[in-house]
């Protein structure tokens, strides 16, 4: 791991390109959101913590979850939580609002959550699949 000497953020690759800004307080992201939006996020964090250690990066424009690399990110809105998970392959679900392939083993799957009940078995499966991507296990031979 490499740590940026300016912002203190850790990366899997030395001199990785990033927006070098100080992190903000996590609560600031939810200051204009309905309480359910924070409840949804907190439930996601609980689910990810059950998978293993995770770092929460409260950046200016998003909240990222990472191990060696970011595997999920979220943007709180007034009445919902927009987010994405990075998976090693494309999955199909009507719940995805967008799917973008960045490389052969990094496929971003975007979604929108409006209630805690949407953190169901299907969503937990997405987290179980994305966590090893954060550890870059999908790149091991």
Local structure of residue 51 (DSSP, 8 states): T
What are the strands of the beta sheet with 63-66, ordered from one edge? 55-58, 63-66, 70-76, 81-87, 106-113, 96-103
What pLDDT is recorded for position 16? 60
Q: Is residue 36 part of a domain?
A: yes
128 in any annotated domain? yes
Q: What is the pLDDT of residues 85-141, one digit of tens each?
A: 999 999 999 999 999 999 888 999 999 999 999 999 999 999 999 999 999 887 765
Answer yes or no: is 74 within a domain.
Answer: yes
pTM reported for the whole predicted model: 0.86
Q: 16-48 pLDDT, tens per residue? A: 666 666 677 999 999 999 999 999 999 999 999
CA 47 vs. chain centroid, Å, equals: 12
Query: Is pLDDT larger for residue 63 or for residue 4?
Result: 63
Residue 11 pLDDT? 62
Structural domains in the chain (count)? 1
Residue 10 lies in a domain: no
The Cβ of residue 67 has, within 10 Å, a number of other Cβ atoms equal to 20
The domain of 88 spans 24-139
SS (H, E, C) 95-141: CEEEEEEEECCEEEEEEEECCHHHCCHHHHHHHHHHHHHHCCHHHCC
Domain membership of residue 62 (yes or no) is yes
Provide mean pLDDT across the span 45-70.
93
What pLDDT sits at residue 138? 75
- pLDDT (average), residues 78-91: 97
In a domain, 31, yes or no: yes
Question: What does the angle CA 75 – CA 88 – CA 140 come to, to the nearest 5 degrees?
Answer: 125
**Whole-angstrom Cα distance, residue 32 to residue 27?**
10
Model pLDDT, residue 8: 66
Q: What is the CATH number of the domain that holds 89?
A: 3.30.1460
Closest CA to 52 of 137, 136, 128, 139: 128
d(CA 55, CA 26): 12
52 domain residue, yes or no? yes
Confirm whether 92 is domain-assigned. yes
Average pLDDT over residues 68-85: 96
């Amino acid at each position: 791991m490499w740590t940026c000497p300016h912002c203190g953020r850790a990366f899997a690759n030395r001199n990785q390109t990033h927006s070098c800004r100080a992190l903000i307080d996590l609560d600031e992201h939810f200051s204009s959101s309905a309480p359910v939006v924070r409840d949804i996020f907190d439930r996601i964090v609980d689910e990810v913590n059950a998978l293993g250690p995770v770092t929460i990066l409260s950046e200016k424009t998003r909240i990222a979850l990472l191990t060696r690399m970011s595997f999920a990110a979220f943007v709180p809105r007034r009445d919902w939580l927009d987010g994405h998970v990075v998976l090693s392959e494309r999955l199909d679900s009507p719940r995805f609002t967008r799917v973008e392939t960045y490389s052969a083993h990094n496929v971003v799957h975007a979604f929108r959550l409006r209630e805690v009940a949407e953190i169901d078995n299907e969503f937990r499966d997405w987290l179980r699949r994305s966590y090893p991507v954060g550890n870059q296990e999908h790149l091991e031979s």
